Structure 1
Amino acid sequence: MSELFPALGNFFGLNDEKKIADSGIRNIFTPHQPIAEFDLLLGRKDEVQSLVQTLSTPGQHVLLYGERGVGKSSLANVVADALRVLLQTTVHIKRCDQSDTFESIVRTSLAEVGADLILTGASEEVGGEAGADLKVLKGTVAKRVVAEYQVSHSLSPSTVAEALTDLNGLLVVDEADAIGNREDRRKLAELIKLLSDGGSAYKLMVVGIAETGSELTAAHPSVQRCLRETKLERMSDPELSEIVEAGSEKAGIRFSEKATNLIVALSAGYPHFTHLIALKCAERAVVEDRQMIELNNLQAALQLAVRDAEGTLKRSYDDSTRSGATTMYRDIVGAAARIDTEEFSASALREQIEEVTGNPISQGSLNNYLQRLVTADGSSILQRSAKGVYRFSDPRMKSYVRMSRAA
């Protein structure tokens, strides 16, 4: 049976998979998980420096927000790691989902003072060399926290702030947009204000998908003074090029200038897609024992990238453009993806449709197709921003469509 394994490995592609795994390329280009190491976060050095400086400033906390896919979690990971190393501080990272509450978010931080909300108990054995007086103080605080929690299974921001005030640490609240209850978001904002007002060295970095920072703080009126809001924008073309160039240098392969430029153009500002396309290119190069990736190597890689893209994008695109009678829906969406601006007019869309199909289209005819493709509430692939003005409901769709059309 063992003699058959090499043949079976070739049949199932396992030998190729082993070459890819051994190359380490998937630890360099990482489209499917946030980056965790500073030297792999490419193109965001200014943002790292700014956020580390803010969190090192007394009384200042961070709110990091932006669109899906721009690299918020990766940036937060690297900033947290930098603070852990530079300031020798304790870091807790809480990734939220819809079931999370204010209490579940601060649970690990409260454990630092001996308050266990799961066991609803308190321990005075905190800090091995902290000294007897500090242990007694922390034990008293922990008992007070647990006592309040046992009454109603909830905690006030003031109780949590009092418990954390003497700690030196950082709590990263990632995916804060998933927190279902607006009151829990308000409590987080209130905790930030209380920690700042009390001069605590304990910091919070709240991270989430939002168009405005107030969405993640329930529009708390008094938190602005101590909360540095940072909207993470899409990356510029030079920054996306840096991902390809620096990543390829680490991997020991090279992308031609034309190949790099096409990857950047298809990415439409999203580092996720740059990592995805570059990874698929590099995987094929590893399997084929090539050190150079040229423009003509991209098509096969793009087909793999489209296959591996997020399911919601694929489903939305397929559902919106599927038709047995015409390719026009696909052509209209493809034309919209060619427009570089976030919003575009009907006339600009008609110009691009003519470029794609070679035939002019009247506004009346276009409107007939847009009845299926456009809604005002963002439930379809295109959204109406104003009369005669449109945008992609999910901004990442532009990059996905560009990849699909190029594959």
Structure 2
Amino acid sequence: MDQEIIRKLGVLSEVYTPAYPIEIKELFSGRDSQFRNVFSFIGQKGYHCLIFGDRGVGKTSFSNIVKVVCESDRQVAKISCNSDDTYESMWINVLSKLSIKHEEVKQDIGFNTEPEKTENVILLSNLVSGEDITIPKLLSIFQHLGNPIIILDEFDRLDPDRFNKRLLTDTIKAISDNLPDVTIIIVGVSEDVGSLILEHESIERNIGQIHMPAMSPLEIEAIIKKGEQPLGLKFSQDVVNKIIELSSGYPHFTHALCYYAATSAIYDRSDTIDAVHLSIAIRQTIDNAHESLRNSYRIATLATKQNIFSEVLYAASIVQTDEYGYFQANDLEPILSEILGKDTKVNNFTFHLGKFCIAERGEILRVTGSKNRHRYKFKNPLMRAFIRLKIEAQSSVTQ
């Protein structure tokens, strides 16, 4: 294979990472206001922060870069929580990422020999066991670390039947009161703080909240453009606009479309990524999407006779939502009227929206609010982008 192609493919795997969160600061784009907020909270004594938002908006990549920036002058322990964790096992995991330096002095036999000093690094997890993990014990350990930052990623995965969230809340409060230079950052899928942690009144003033919405078009464009210089490639403006549209604000799909489109252009020895390369990328992104997305879409649009389920679902994927991804049924009226080519009112498709919220159609949507003020949201927000990709692929076939 051509050495230049091999070189570019190697660079490509670093620039666009659809299967893995970003860990290199220079390759991260966007989230300027969220970065300002998180570093403002870190700089305040006794303050901690909670980063929350939908799945797929880039919270793990964001917290990775926070770690990279902060660990230049302090210890940072970043872990991923899981459903097997208990309060004790989570803290053991945290302590395995933190260390203290221990100096040993060895005196050789003889009058004229200088003592030999060696400095060892000891992981804190080696000094404790699960039974030792109590709030007083943690305070006694952290007081020797100066100003560490502890990042608890994927916090929503903790099983409430195994993990004592109330005890963690008490721990955060105790750290705020006694060790104000220690910062805890909690990261998780959620629409609100209350569903991630069990709050009590006295801790509200100690936790800053950072909501991570879907990315703006300008932020998505920055991700796309990030790879042009290192790859020596240029995305045509039409391709840039289409990737922004199809990504729906979710960087996972931006990375996937850019990766597959750039791969196609590299093999073509083309300096420009055009519509042909993007068309290939769309099909590859669909083929490599998570099985749960493909299966949910199949169940939701299954048809034994003519219906408008796929059209209603497509309308739901392109409708303007609030910052938490919700829309109301009447928001779909003008969109469906255009898709179907006729005036379409709410009563023509509320049945379909209702079906999308039950097992028969895969529970692809969830609904909140009272009967006359229902608000809908995709159960998996990444589905919005996946539907757009499916429709785009279908339309390119029929053209």
* Residue of structure 1 in register with 2:384 after alignment: 398
* Residue of structure 2 in register with 1:268 after alignment: 248
Could you say which structure has the higher helix fraction? 1
Cα pair distance change 1:329/1:157, threshold 3 Å: same
* Residue of structure 2 in register with 1:117 after alignment: none
* Residue type at the aligned position of 1:316: S
RMSD: 3.2
* Residue type at the aligned position of 1:129: E
* Residue type at the aligned position of 1:267: S
* Residue type at the aligned position of 1:165: Q
Question: What TM-score, normalized by structure 2, do the two folds share?
Answer: 0.82
2:361 equivalent to 1:374: no
* Residue of structure 2 in register with 1:337 after alignment: 317
Once the two structures are TM-superposed, the CA of residue 319 in structure 1 deviates from its matched residue by 1.1
Tell me if structure 2 keeps the 8 A contact 1:63–1:228: yes
Cα pair distance change 1:322/1:103, threshold 3 Å: same
Kindly provide the CA deviation profile for residues 376-404 of structure 1, in whole angstroms up to 9, marking residues without a partner as x.
Answer: 9x961123334354332322211111111
* Residue of structure 1 in register with 2:278 after alignment: 298
Q: In structure 1, what is the Cα distance between the partners aligned to 2:104 and 2:217? A: 50
Once the two structures are TM-superposed, the CA of residue 155 in structure 1 deviates from its matched residue by 3.2
Unaligned stretches of 5+ in structure 2?
Answer: 107-121, 394-399
* SS at structure 2 position matched to 1:216: coil
2:102 equivalent to 1:128: yes
Q: In structure 2, what is the Cα distance between the partners aligned to 1:312 and 1:206? A: 27
| Larger deviation, residues 291-300 vs 353-362 | 353-362
Cα pair distance change 1:327/1:301, threshold 3 Å: farther
Tell me if structure 2 keeps the 8 A contact 1:248–1:255: yes
Q: In structure 2, what is the Cα distance between the partners aligned to 1:360 and 1:374? A: 25
2:74 equivalent to 1:74: no
* Residue of structure 2 in register with 1:105 after alignment: 90
* Residue type at the aligned position of 1:403: L
2:48 equivalent to 1:61: yes
Tell me if structure 2 keeps the 8 A contact 1:110–1:160: no
Q: 1:259 aligns with which of 221, 230, 239?
A: 239
* SS at structure 2 position matched to 1:391: strand
Once the two structures are TM-superposed, the CA of residue 28 in structure 1 deviates from its matched residue by 0.5
Q: In structure 1, what is the Cα distance between the partners aligned to 2:319 and 2:267? A: 35
Cα pair distance change 1:58/1:264, threshold 3 Å: same
* Residue of structure 1 in register with 2:203 after alignment: 223
* Residue of structure 2 in register with 1:307 after alignment: 287
2:163 equivalent to 1:189: no
Question: What TM-score, normalized by structure 1, do the two folds share?
Answer: 0.80
Once the two structures are TM-superposed, the CA of residue 317 in structure 1 deviates from its matched residue by 0.9
Q: In structure 2, what is the Cα distance between the partners aligned to 1:228 and 1:161? A: 21
Aligned residues: 368
Tell me if structure 2 keeps the 8 A contact 1:158–1:191: no
* SS at structure 2 position matched to 1:390: strand
Cα pair distance change 1:173/1:112, threshold 3 Å: closer
* SS at structure 2 position matched to 1:129: strand
Kindly provide the CA deviation profile for residues 261-312 of structure 1, in whole angstroms up to 9, marking residues without a partner as x.
Answer: 1111111111122111111111111121111112343222111111122222
| Larger deviation, residues 91-100 vs 50-59 | 50-59
* SS at structure 2 position matched to 1:229: strand
Cα pair distance change 1:51/1:364, threshold 3 Å: closer
Q: In structure 2, what is the Cα distance between the partners aligned to 1:364 and 1:75? A: 42
Once the two structures are TM-superposed, the CA of residue 231 in structure 1 deviates from its matched residue by 1.2
* Residue of structure 2 in register with 1:92 after alignment: 77
Q: In structure 1, what is the Cα distance between the partners aligned to 2:42 and 2:261? A: 38
Once the two structures are TM-superposed, the CA of residue 336 in structure 1 deviates from its matched residue by 1.8
* Residue type at the aligned position of 2:181: A
Fraction of identical pairs, as percent:
25
* Residue type at the aligned position of 2:165: R
Q: 1:358 aligns with which of 341, 352, 362?
A: 341
